[in-house]
């Protein structure tokens, strides 16, 4: 009896150690999902999942070891049930369980799945056992076909995205930010313009203005002595000086029938 008790204590110690490791890994994943969901990437999530799977594998090996007594033949019985709040229980369970009452004990000390879950599992096992080899092979082939199709779609989308990113990076730059800023400063504030360039621009502007004011004689005659815009003053200002001298006599001197 003492030897069996020692083996049981050693097995329970190893099981508790593995359970604590598994609990730590699960708590780490839950913390990342709740607080680091914005920066969490898929490889990091897979690493945490692989760590949990490794702890579960080690736990299964301990349970299947020869020195570990078969726990299926053991029964866990509660020594004390109380609806009152138990501080020691809260400390041992890290705040997850506050009371050890009659309505909670069946769920806490359950060694078998719930009746609904167990019934569903039995139905699935019977369905899998009655499935023929050809039907199972056909379903596996169809499932692989769907997975391969989804994989091809994901790879194609990835290649398109990489090609678009590469083409955007390889495009030659068609503008210069420095030149743009210099042009805006020159137009808006006159920055960088020299005095010689200003003097060259001003006479041209005056010449254009003078040409608009003088106009052409043909246009003045066609408009009845008015300027290009129909203004008499503009027409007089734009009339070219004549080189022919005229002598205008009074009408009374040249009238043939003078009184």
Q: Which of 56-65, 145-154, 227-236 has the lowest mean pLDDT?
A: 227-236
Asked if 69 contacts 8 with a C-beta cutoff of 8 angstroms, the reply is: yes
pLDDT score of 61: 86
pLDDT score of 163: 84
Residues 106 and 126 in one domain: no
Q: Tell me the average pLDDT across 29-51.
A: 87
How would residue 244 be classed by pLDDT, with cut points 50, 70 and 90? low
Written as six digits, the tokens of 131 are 């499935």
pLDDT score of 123: 92
Asked if 201 contacts 188 with a C-beta cutoff of 8 angstroms, the reply is: no
Q: Name the domain count of the chain.
A: 3
Domain that holds residue 43: 1-72
Share of the chain above pLDDT 70, in %: 71
CA distance 235 to 213: 9
pLDDT tens, position by position, 66-79: 777 667 677 778 88
pLDDT top residue among 145 and 194: 145
pLDDT score of 82: 87
SS3 content of the chain, % helix, strand, coil (to 5): 65, 0, 35
Residues 20 and 42 in one domain: yes
139 falls within a domain: yes
Asked if 19 contacts 59 with a C-beta cutoff of 8 angstroms, the reply is: yes
Place of tokens 């076909």: 145
pLDDT score of 254: 54
225 falls within a domain: no
Written as six digits, the tokens of 74 are 């053991």
184 falls within a domain: no
């Amino acid at each position: 009896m003492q030897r069996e008790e020692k083996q049981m204590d050693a097995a329970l110690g190893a099981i508790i150690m593995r359970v604590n490791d598994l609990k730590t890994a699960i708590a780490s994943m839950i913390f990342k999902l709740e607080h680091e969901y914005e920066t969490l990437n898929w490889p990091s999530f897979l690493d945490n999942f692989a760590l949990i799977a490794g702890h579960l594998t080690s736990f299964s090996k301990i349970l299947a070891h020869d020195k570990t007594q078969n726990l299926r033949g053991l029964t866990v019985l509660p020594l004390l049930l109380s609806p009152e709040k138990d501080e020691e229980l809260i400390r041992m369970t890290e705040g997850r369980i506050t009371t050890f009452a009659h309505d909670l004990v069946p769920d806490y000390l359950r060694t078998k799945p719930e009746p609904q879950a167990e019934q569903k599992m039995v139905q699935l096992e019977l369905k899998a056992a009655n499935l023929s080899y050809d039907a199972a092979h056909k379903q596996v082939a169809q499932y692989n076909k769907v997975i391969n199709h989804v994989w091809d779609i994901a790879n194609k989308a990835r290649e398109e995205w990489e090609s678009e990113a590469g083409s955007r990076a390889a495009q030659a730059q068609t503008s210069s930010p420095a030149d743009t800023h210099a042009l805006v400063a020159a137009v808006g504030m006159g920055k960088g313009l020299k005095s010689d360039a200003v003097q060259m621009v001003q006479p041209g502007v005056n010449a254009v203005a003078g040409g608009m004011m003088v106009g052409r004689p043909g246009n003045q005659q066609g408009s009845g002595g008015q300027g290009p815009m129909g203004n008499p003053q503009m027409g007089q200002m734009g009339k070219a000086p004549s080189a022919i001298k005229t002598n205008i006599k009074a009408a009374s001197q040249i009238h043939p029938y003078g009184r």
